[in-house]
Amino acid sequence: MVKLTEGTNYLNPKASAQVKNAYKVFGAVGAYHFFHGNGTAEARYFLAWVRKFGLDKSTVLAIDVEASGLPYNTTPQVNVFLRYLINAGYKNVITYGSGSWFNSGRIKRSELIDKHIWVAAYGVSQPGVANANSWQFTDNFKGLKVDASYDFDGSLSGSKTSAKPSYYQSKKIGLYEVTAPQLWIYKKKNFGKATKSYQALAKGSRVWAYAVKYGKITHLKLKYANGYISSNAEYIRRIYLKK
């Protein structure tokens, strides 16, 4: 994802080179706009540069909703922005924001005209927003000072499917194996930096656990140790379930 524009008068000076490099390395590119709250004017400005860079209507376009000066309920103007792009034929759109903004209602997913969301949540083992399409989990991947994201259903790559992240739900005790590089253990069900135990399970680790609910999210409670881990099937697989 290349940052293209911001507001109504900023163009990323490195955008041209970054777009070319993305095509060269990945064969595709997406672009995003840093939003300041003026839906129509900013969408018009962004789209003008999208077209100047030759990005066709299959391109994934994102709106970055995190500016401190935005009103508390920013959803109406986000919709204005999204609608402008969709009406212009760019239908692969996604809204980026922090997990706290989605959970507090600053961005109301239920009211978005396109429900695809890209959630930023660092230092945790899952995005913390139910059925997020994509999750930016770090801004310093492998110490390189670059962002990295999980694309759960192809929303960022432009190959959207109807698939949603799958979470293990059974309250029966089961044996689970970690498939992610590591899976953090949390002291409480409300995952976050304050409850992180700073102990992680390495890939291939096996644990006995059972599902517990925390709001709309399901976690796994460790059977023989204190703590909770993610139940997301992207990071862990169930080997056996006790009858």
The predicted-structure confidence for 78-125, as pLDDT tens digits, reads as follows 999 999 999 999 999 999 999 999 999 999 999 999 999 999 999 888
Sign for the pseudo-dihedral over CA of 181, 147, 14, 159 = positive
CB 209 within 8 A of CB 221: yes
CATH 3.40.50.300 fits 2-151, yes or no: no
pLDDT tens track for 225-239: 889 999 988 889 999
Mean per-residue pLDDT over the chain, rounded: 91
- Domain ranges for the chain: 2-151, 174-241
CATH 2.30.30 fits 174-241, yes or no: yes
